């Protein structure tokens, strides 16, 4: 059950979204640009929405800290991308033309008992609702809808040498 009025939702590409929930060596830093998450504080919850083609809210993480860092320092503190699940090439491409970047360190990743599809989110939050480009604070009503919507199947994430996948159990 998600608690707290300090809960936010972010959209993350499926490749990086599932990394938070790996059973071994999970992703613990979300890399962003600009002023992303200036309002985030330690202990805040973040709902991870895995963008299309997955199109599902899949779980939550807790904010440990958020920092704006020079790119070389951000690369070092991400343990050369290992904690963010990115290669040097991906890091450089993402931060091209930038002098600094945002690192949001997270912990306590928890998968929802069942992922919540975009159509279900819209059913509960309004047909015109769109996943955020940056960050969206969730109201108590939206939190209640998330808590009701994720009460069925359980699944887990595994990191195999050849691929990362979600499995229903």
pLDDT tens digits along 6-64: 899 999 999 999 999 999 999 999 999 999 999 999 999 999 999 999 999 999 999 99
The gap from C-alpha 1 to its chain's centroid, in whole angstroms, comes to 17
Round the average pLDDT of the chain to a whole number and report it.
Answer: 87
Q: pTM for the full model? A: 0.84
| pLDDT of amino acid 150 | 61
Q: Which residues of 75-88 are buried (b: 16+ CB within 10 A; e: fewer)?
A: beebeebebbbbee
Cis peptide before 99 (omega within 30 of 0): no
Distance CA 89, CA 92 (A): 5
């Amino acid at each position: 059950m998600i608690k707290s009025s300090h809960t936010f939702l972010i959209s993350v590409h499926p490749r990086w979204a599932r990394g938070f929930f790996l059973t071994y060596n999970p992703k613990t830093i979300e890399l962003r640009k600009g002023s992303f998450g200036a309002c985030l504080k330690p202990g805040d919850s973040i709902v991870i929405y895995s963008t299309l083609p997955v199109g599902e809210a899949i779980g939550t993480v807790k904010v440990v800290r958020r920092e704006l860092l020079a790119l070389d320092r951000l690369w070092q503190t991400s343990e050369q991308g290992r904690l963010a699940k990115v290669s040097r090439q991906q890091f450089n491409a993402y931060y091209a033309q930038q002098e600094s970047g945002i690192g949001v360190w997270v912990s306590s990743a928890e998968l929802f008992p069942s992922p919540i599809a975009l159509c279900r989110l819209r059913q509960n939050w309004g047909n015109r609702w769109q996943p955020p480009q940056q960050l969206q604070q969730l109201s108590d009503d939206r939190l209640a809808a998330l808590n009701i919507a994720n009460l069925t199947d359980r699944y887990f994430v595994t990191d195999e040498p050849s691929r990362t996948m979600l499995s229903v159990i």
